[in-house]
Chains A and B, each alone.
Chain A
Amino acid sequence: MHSQIVDFLNKNVPGCNPVINAPVAVVGDQSITVAAVNILEVCRALRSSPEFAFNVLQVITGTDYPDRIELSYILASYSKNLELILKTNLPRGDKNNLSKINSVVSVWSAANFQERETYDMIGVDFVGHPDFRRILCPYDWDGHPLRKDYVVQEKYLDMVVNPPAKNNTDDQMFGKRLKEELGDPKRVSASWKDNTAGADAAEAKDGE
């Protein structure tokens, strides 16, 4: 099915460079990667094509990789019983300069909420979206949570996010204190993984 779609796209949307991504292992799904600038034409062609008829947009999702953001458009055809993962790569961009891509709301109305969620969570600017706002986070939230380098903002509307009083430091630090008291850290094993203090606590957790 995927090679037919690639042929179809080559014929109908010149310049979109469709490439089949074979699954890395023997398991999993195949997908097709297209050029980001052509996404609207590709979606429109796939929707209106009589042989595939992808009449439903299931979901738009993004994945944050160190060097790029990969958007996945998962399409389904209910008349032909097909399913397709359509992918496109974007530069990561930064907070003030999100990478842009054309919105596909004109093709499927379902894209409205999905694109808003992708913007909210991953941080991609969808050009031509009729109602472009955050959707799950508050409208004045800072940052995009599903990026791998996301750090929670310290203050939100004068409220401290994660106040130290709510942290159970007493119990978390018990193992560390014990190590200091005994003076022989190798004899102590503690469960709490201390992200700030470095590797030795983490090792104890992994080493069981």
Chain B
Amino acid sequence: MSTHNENADKIILGDQEVLKSELLTLNMGPQHPATHGVLRVEIKTDSEIVVDAIPHLGYLHRCFEKHAENLDYRGVIPFVDRMDYLAAMSMEWGYALTVEKMLGTEVPKRAEYVRVLVAELQRIASHLVFFGTYGIDLGAFTVFLYCFEDREEILRLFEELSGARMLYNYIWIGGVWNDINDSQLNRVKAFCDRFEGELHKYHTLVGENKIFIGRTANVGIISEKMAFDFGATGPILRASGVKWDLRKNRPYSIYDKFDFDIPVGVGEKGTVGDCWDRYHVRVLEMFESIKIIRQVLDGIEEGPVMGKVPKIIKVPAGEIYMRTECPRGELGYHLISDGGKTPYRLKVKSSCFTHVSILPAIAPGLMIADMVASIGSIDIVLGEVDR
């Protein structure tokens, strides 16, 4: 996105000319509570109206792809965790699926169920962080505490399963590390029953609030055309009114067994693709996740959780591109192997990186306070943006 000329003589907002003053450059970030990490957005404003927003990335850049070229296939998983640290399970699963597809490994049925279970729980946990922090961005503090209490329950389960709270290293190539036991499954069931009611409450508390609607409806609109043009995926694409979900349209693992809906934005409170729609799609996705988890609990089978994988993994030469649906959008791994013990090239298509590029396109014409609402609704995790 090319930036506007600073020395322009006139600024026309909609069809009205505004009084042009000298443009003010404002740095939002790198340390700003609303950027959810270390993102710097250089904002050029004419009084309160944003003329340009230029994101500067790379404050959390670790060049994970270079690391991966020097690690064996199992050793990459801890690094993959650290990309989207709020949804580490989904990151691992995508990587494991990529390597398994190249190896031709058969994953045991129980492991598949456990993977779906943890990935959907992770989706809820990740969306709860979005829910809570988006509330904080817009001045509603209470719901943040409620959300984190529920998230804590999920994290505690993950800690018992894998031993870590955030960076799990739980989904391995060929299966999962530890088996889940019946009492844990019962806890998940109880959590689902309780959480469904709670979520309705939270939505009434935040999403239905007139002040919240006033801050988010009709703000930061991403139209369907724009979403395709910028390659938006996941909740952002669905909020723009596109019924697309990889779990339904290109099912991987055992997602074809489950029955769930794809929530899309309909412009209930404003225009299709505004911040409120993006918020609402995520809330509805949590309900769908609960639906999937219930089906997993009904259908889970007994058996081993680890398939047969050679001790030293050597992926046959070739390449593969594998997409999975993560809480923040589609995650793609492009793996090129030369038949050795380490990947020759592992490129990650990160959805957050793509979503940041929409920011310069939606920002011009917004107020500065609306920028906060827009960045929050895109829900980026800087670990995944910078990798």
Residues of A contacting B318 with CB < 8 Å?
A: 23-25, 27-29
Residue B191 lies at the interface, judged by CB distance under 8 Å to chain A? no
Q: Among the listed B63, B250, B320, B332, which residue makes an inter-chain contact with A58, where contact means beta carbons less than 8 Å apart?
A: B332
Query: What is the interface size of chain B, counting residues whose CB is below 8 A from a CB of the partner?
Result: 43
Residue B66 lies at the interface, judged by CB distance under 8 Å to chain A? yes
Q: Whose C-beta in chain A lies nearest to the C-beta of B54?
A: A131
Give Cα A117 to B357, complex, Å.
Answer: 12
Contact A74 B349 (CB under 8 A): yes
Contact A29 B320 (CB under 8 A): yes
Residue B242 lies at the interface, judged by CB distance under 8 Å to chain A? yes
Residues of B contacting A145 with CB < 8 Å?
A: 63, 66
Give Cα A112 to B155, complex, Å.
Answer: 37
Residue B16 lies at the interface, judged by CB distance under 8 Å to chain A? no
Contact A61 B356 (CB under 8 A): no
**Given contacts A25-B318, A58-B332, A108-B231, is CB(A136)–CB(B57) below 8 Å?**
yes
Residue A207 lies at the interface, judged by CB distance under 8 Å to chain B? no
Q: What number of residue pairs across chains A and B have CB atoms under 8 A from each other?
A: 108
Query: What is the interface size of chain A, counting residues whose CB is below 8 A from a CB of the partner?
Result: 38
Give Cα A102 to B235, complex, Å.
Answer: 32
Contact B321 A135 (CB under 8 A): no
**Given contacts A109-B229, A138-B58, is CB(A63)–CB(B356) below 8 Å?**
no
**Least distance between B42 CB and chain A CB atoms (Å):** 12
**Given contacts A27-B101, A130-B1, A145-B66, is CB(A85)–CB(B319) below 8 Å?**
yes
Residue B180 lies at the interface, judged by CB distance under 8 Å to chain A? no
Residues of A contacting B130 with CB < 8 Å?
A: none
Mark interface residues in A124-157 (1 if CB within 8 Å of B CB, else 0).
0000001100111110000001100010000000
Residue B104 lies at the interface, judged by CB distance under 8 Å to chain A? yes
Contact B319 A23 (CB under 8 A): yes
Contact A31 B334 (CB under 8 A): no
**Beta-carbon contacts under 8 Å, B326-341 to A:** 330, 332, 334, 336
Residue A40 lies at the interface, judged by CB distance under 8 Å to chain B? no
**Given contacts A25-B317, A25-B318, is CB(A59)–CB(B57) below 8 Å?**
no
Contact A110 B2 (CB under 8 A): no
Contact B357 A131 (CB under 8 A): no
Residues of B contacting A23 with CB < 8 Å?
A: 318-319
Residues of B contacting A56 with CB < 8 Å?
A: 228, 231
Contact A29 B321 (CB under 8 A): yes
Residue A34 lies at the interface, judged by CB distance under 8 Å to chain B? no
Q: Whose C-beta in chain A lies nearest to the C-beta of B3?
A: A131
Mark interface residues in A97-114 (1 if CB within 8 Å of B CB, else 0).
000000000001110110
**Least distance between A29 CB and chain B CB atoms (Å):** 5
Contact A146 B66 (CB under 8 A): yes
Contact A112 B63 (CB under 8 A): no
**Least distance between A146 CB and chain B CB atoms (Å):** 6
Contact B1 A78 (CB under 8 A): no
**Beta-carbon contacts under 8 Å, B235-251 to A:** 242, 244, 249-250
Contact B249 A81 (CB under 8 A): yes
Give Cα A53 to B386, complex, Å.
Answer: 30
Contact A63 B58 (CB under 8 A): no
Contact B230 A110 (CB under 8 A): yes
**Given contacts A23-B318, A29-B319, is CB(A109)–CB(B332) below 8 Å?**
no
Give Cα A57 to B230, complex, Å.
Answer: 8
Q: Indicate the member of B347, B357, B386 with the most A CB atoms within 10 Å.
A: B347
Q: Among the listed A25, A58, A83, A134, which residue makes an inter-chain contact with B231, where contact means beta carbons less than 8 Å apart?
A: A58
**4 closest Cβ pairs, A-B complex:** A28-B318, A110-B231, A25-B316, A59-B349
Q: Which residues of B contact A (CB under 8 A)?
A: 1-3, 57-58, 61, 63, 65-66, 101-104, 228-231, 242, 244, 249-250, 316-321, 323, 330, 332, 334, 336, 344-345, 347, 349, 353-354, 356-357, 361, 386-387
Q: Which residues of A contact B (CB under 8 A)?
A: 23-25, 27-29, 31, 55-59, 61, 63-64, 72, 74, 78, 81, 83, 85, 108-110, 112-113, 117, 121, 130-131, 134-138, 145-146, 150
- Known: A25-B316, A110-B354, A136-B57; 12 extra A-B contacts, CB below 8 A, are A27-B104, A59-B332, A61-B347, A64-B345, A74-B321, A74-B332, A78-B244, A131-B2, A135-B57, A137-B58, A137-B61, A145-B66
Q: List 14 A-B contacts (CB under 8 A).
A: A25-B316, A27-B316, A57-B231, A63-B345, A64-B345, A74-B334, A83-B321, A109-B1, A109-B230, A109-B357, A113-B354, A136-B57, A137-B61, A145-B63
